[in-house]
Structure 1
C-alpha cells in the first residue's frame, strides 16, 4: 500500500523489482491476455458487432 492507502502493485511478490525476471512469465497466461485484448479490440472496432447479455434484459 502507498501512503494514500491505494494498492501499488498486483500483489505478486517481486513484481517490478530486481526479482522480476523474464523466466517468471507464464506463457499461457500472457497468451490468454493477449487473445482477450485482441478480441475486445476487434469487437469494439466492428461497426456491426453486438454483444448480448441476459443480465438486465426483460427484467
Structure 2
C-alpha cells in the first residue's frame, strides 16, 4: 500500500514526536492513500506559512 504525506518540509521518515497535539485526530503522522489530498494539504500549509516549498512524500 502506498500512502502520501503532504508537508511544507522534507520528511525522511515518519516521526510522531514532531506532530501537533490539537489536530482533528490528536497527535500522529497523518497520511492518505489519495495523492491529490496530500498535494492539497502541502499547498495549504505552504500558503499559510508563505512558503513556496511543497513536498509530497510517499511511503
TM-score > 0.5 by shorter chain: no
Q: Which has the higher contact order (CA 8 A, sep 6+)?
A: 2
TM-score between both structures, scaled by the size of structure 2:
0.31
Q: Which has the larger radius of gyration?
A: 1
More strand by share: 2
